[in-house]
Amino acid sequence: MRKTVQLLFVLLLVGMAYLCVSCSHQEQEKSQIIDISLEQVQPQIVDAISGKPINKNIYTDYQGIRIYFCCANSQRSFESDPEKYIQKLKEQNIIRERSPEEE
């Protein structure tokens, strides 16, 4: 009986050690993904619609984020189909600035 309890205890310790190693490895992979992502993101400097440089005075706050445009025409295009342009910004790894009201 005592050997059975000792064996179960050893198996429990081995199982816990395996889980800790596995979790540690997964966390390491996640941090590498985050580090890579942070290196690839960039602030919005061009209009997602026209590709021209933004004017910080022309913007729209949409779902808690601020999107800048080069001109009012781009702003209107964005407002007609915002999800399309939000997706475009995401694909370009553009940091979407939080709206001041959301901070």
Q: Quick one: the chain helix, strand, coil %, rounded to 5? A: 60, 20, 20
For residue 86, what pLDDT is reported?
A: 87
Residue 51 has φ and ψ, to the nearest 5°, of: 80, 0
- pLDDT tens digit sequence for 19-76: 555 555 455 555 444 444 545 567 889 898 898 999 999 999 998 889 999 999 999 9
